[in-house]
Amino acid sequence: MNRKIKETGSDRAFNIVNYIVLSLFFITVLYPCVYIVSASFSSTDAVISGRVWLWPVEPGLKGYKAVFENKAIGTGFFNSIYYTVAGTVINVVLTIMAAYPLSRHDFVGRNVIMFVFVFTILFSGGLIPTYLLVKELGLLNTRWAMILPTALSVFNMIITRTYFQTTIPREMLEAAQVDGCSDLKFLRSIVLPLSGPIIAVITLFYAVGHWNSYFNALLYLKDRDLYPLQLVLRSILIQNQIDPNMITSEEDLVARQGLADLLKYSLIVVAAVPVLIIYPFVQKHFVKGVMIGSIKG
Amino acid sequence: MSYQEVTPHMQTVTRPAKKRRLLRDMAKVWQLYLLMILPFAFIIIFKYVPMYGAQIAFRDFVVSKGIWGSEWVGLRHFVRFFQSYEFWNIMKNTITLSLYQLIAGFPFPIILALSLNYVGNLKFKKTVQMVTYAPHFVSVVVMVGIIFQILDPRIGLVNAVIKMFGFEPVDFMGRAEYFQSIYVWSGIWQNVGFNCIIFLAALSGIDPSLHEAAVVDGASKIRRMWHIDLPGIMPIAVILLILNVGHMLEIGFEKVYLMQNPLNLRTSEIIDTYVYKIGLASQVVQFSYSTAIGLFRNIINFILLIAVNHIAKKMNQSSLW
């Protein structure tokens, strides 16, 4: 027991250092987020003169008012919800349709078909041929262009297949087959009810992917009414194109510029909020997804 | 597995009988094929048709003539790319950026995981995890928007600090020498938490009796970390590193493209952004030339992936996966 007391000295030092290291990580990640939120609630004047450090200065909602008055942002928001919901439904259905047969040992040809799928991770035709295909199919500048080219992710298909293989006991299938249960019925009434966790995981992966993506929209969409939120954000945050109409309430140029600066902070918050609101509830699913993904299929 | 057990019997069966048997096995699971139709059609149309279309890299593709009507020019587009004055610069940028990212990004998730693993206070641990995972879910556009705001020469936070100390503000995005660092470190900021998940899992898989034995022998926490935890997660760390080398040419194109501007183009032009620009975003679209460059990248990528998977497989024969 004497020894134990001696050790606590070095272990206590370790604990202190450990807490310092973790706090550094914590603050480094947290501070920029807090700063942006605070800036978004400050006055234009405080933002321009750089008086915001930690808490909102001269708090107000001017930035948010400007965000919500912007029509393009509203349209983009609606479009993004549309693409996310429709796209994710198709994604999940297709993923299960591919993953289940490939998880079955008695599926003749599974190795060949699996190879056909996996090969597309290793090699692809590239940007231009894909673009030409989408154009050829007449999908350019339609909502389908946001949904069909990404209708299935082979990576998600593989983790779903791994899940089926490891959680659905083969005896269960054999018992069901003896009772004359068809494959489709088995999938519907046995496999799917047991697959809640994996369906949650891939739904999240797909949904966040749809919500956050901008590049396919940039490639395939010309019509501004079809733009998803991320593309609207790009034109405001990155390209600095702010529709002058939305800040006509300000008379002089300086105030207008100031509002444009403030608006960006508010916009970042508004754009990040939908994902971050559901995030605490789904965090454990994501962690699970990473785990399943890391076990080789 | 059961297939291999069955095959010896099948060898004794005559060929037509074998075929019949195969057909019977296939017929038994016809509903599975039914399920497979749509996903399989998707893969063929949206993945394999573009691979077939990639042959325009060897032709002078003219839209009105179609793929087969366009003239075959062999490797001309490839040679043109290799001889172009941009070639070396683009290759250098692509490789240095991904190596930078690979090396700088390697230690931090491991440190975070080791550190989290020794926290007694569960509430603190959960809070740190919650906060450090969160930026992973922020979109590229918003992330780059955050970078621009924080580094803005006029109103940005970083320059506010610089000005406070009496220095001149720096236009970070306008200086080519800062581009790669901004790209890499903002990436680490965004993903360190999420990337540590896999190491946390590896740590929880370490046999607790090792730690118990070490405690009995009087090992301090720092020694246990060094001699038990670190060797415990090294196999995973090395494999991840190797696999990442395989993805070397696939840097986050979307982020690079958003961060680019004419002032930092010297260091920020990578293969993928170049392909996009000359292929689709420029005044004179050069489908074939652009496809050739993309194909060149994909072939190198393919070779790297195969090599790297081979090495990883050899290495992990006795390890975790």
pLDDT digits (tens, 9 = 90+) for B84-122: 988 999 999 999 999 999 999 999 999 999 999 888 788
Tell me the pLDDT band of A296, cut-offs 50, 70 and 90.
Answer: very low
Confidence band, pLDDT 50/70/90 cuts, at residue A82: very high
Of the candidates A138, A137, A130, A219, which has an alpha carbon nearest to the alpha carbon of residue B291?
A130
Contact B111 A21 (CB under 8 A): yes
**Mean pLDDT, all residues of chain A:** 84
Q: What are phi and psi of B84, to 5 degrees?
A: -70, 155
Question: Which residues are paired to B59 by β-bridges?
Answer: B72
pLDDT at B286 exceeding the cut of 50: yes
Instruction: Tell whether the model's pLDDT for residue B306 goes beyond 90.
Output: no
At A295, the pLDDT band (50, 70, 90 cuts) reads low
Q: Taking residues B134-146, report their average pLDDT.
A: 88
Average the pLDDT over A59-81 and give the result.
84
What is the pLDDT at residue A297?
Answer: 35
| Mean of per-residue pLDDT scores for chain B | 85
Q: For A237, name the nearest residue in chain B, comparing CA atoms only.
A: B145
- Predicted complex: ipTM over 0.95: no
HSE (side-chain half, CA atoms, 13 Å) at A178? 6
Give the least confident one: A112-116, A236-240, B225-229. A236-240
Which pLDDT score, from 0 to 100, does residue A294 have? 61
The DSSP result for B129-193, as a single string, is: HHHHHGGGGS-HHHHHHHHHHHH-TTT-HHHHHHHHTTPPP--GGG-HHHHHHHHHHHHHHHHHH
pLDDT band with cut points at 50, 70 and 90 for residue B6:
very low
Q: What pLDDT digit, counting tens, does each position of A38-54 carry?
A: 888 887 777 777 777 87
Give the one of B36, B163, B305 whose C-beta lies nearest to A101's C-beta.
B36
- Within 10 A of B205 (CB to CB), how many other CB atoms are there? 11
Question: Considering Cα of A74, then A80, then A81, then A82, what sign does the dihedral take?
Answer: positive
User: Which residues of chain A does B137 touch, with a Cβ-Cβ cutoff of 8 Å?
Assistant: 208, 212, 275-276, 279
pLDDT at A251: 59
Q: For residue A1, what pLDDT is reported?
A: 42
Quote the pLDDT of residue A116: 95
pLDDT in tens, A219-271: 999 998 999 999 999 988 888 776 655 555 555 666 777 777 888 888 888 88
Q: Mean per-residue pLDDT for B141-161? A: 87
Q: How is residue B98 written in tokens? A: 């991904």
pLDDT of residue A205: 86
Contact B157 A32 (CB under 8 A): yes
Instruction: Test B32 with A123 for CB contact under 8 angstroms.
Output: no
Residue A203, classed as helix, strand or coil, is: helix
The predicted pLDDT at position A293 comes to: 63
Q: What would you report as the CA-atom Rg of chain A, rounded to the nearest whole angstrom? A: 26
Does B303 touch chain A if contact means CB atoms closer than 8 Å?
no
CB atoms within 10 A of CB B181: 13
Question: What percent of chain B is modeled with pLDDT above 70?
Answer: 94
Chain B residue with minimal CA distance to A10? B220
Q: Strand, coil or helix: what is B206?
A: coil
Please report residues of B whose CB lies closer than 8 A to that of A287. 197
pLDDT tens track for B35-70:
999 999 999 999 999 999 999 999 888 888 888 888
Q: For chains A and B, what is the number of CB pairs under 8 angstroms?
A: 270
Q: Rounded mean pLDDT of A82-101?
A: 96
Which residues in chain A touch residue B272, judged by CB atoms under 8 angstroms apart?
127
In the Cβ-directed half-sphere of B91, how many Cα atoms lie within 13 Å?
12
pLDDT value for A121: 86
- Residue B190 CA to residue B196 CA, distance in Å, equals 12
> Who among B46, B137, B291 is closest to A128 (CB)?
B291
* Position B283 confidence tier, pLDDT thresholds 50, 70, 90: confident
More confident position, B313 or B131: B131
In whole angstroms, what is the distance from residue B296 CA to residue B317 CA? Answer: 32
Tell me the C-alpha distance between A207 and A84, whole Å. 6
B12 pLDDT band (50/70/90 cuts)? low
C-alpha to C-alpha distance for A70 and A63, rounded to whole angstroms? 11
> What is the predicted pLDDT for the residue at B2?
43
Cβ A184 vs Cβ B30: under 8 Å? no
pLDDT at A271: 86
Residue B190 pLDDT: 92
B261 lies within 8 A of chain A by CB: no
As beta bridge partners, residue B60 has B71
| H-run or E-run covering B72 | strand B71-72
Residues near B278 by beta carbon (within 8 Å), at least 6 away in sequence: B285, B286, B289, B290, B293
Contact: B32, A122; criterion CB under 8 Å? no
Mean pLDDT of the A16-37 span: 89
The interface residues of chain B toward chain A in range 71-110, judged by CB-CB distance below 8 A, are none
Report CA Rg, chain B: 27
Q: Do A47 and B279 touch (CB under 8 A)?
A: no
SS3 content of chain A, % helix, strand, coil (to 5): 80, 0, 20
Amino acid found at A213: S
**CB B128 to CB A14 under 8 A?**
no
Mean pLDDT of B306-319: 72
Contact A266, A246 (CB under 8 A): no
Q: What is the pTM of this model?
A: 0.85
Q: How far, in Å, CA of A68 to CA of A49, rounded?
A: 25
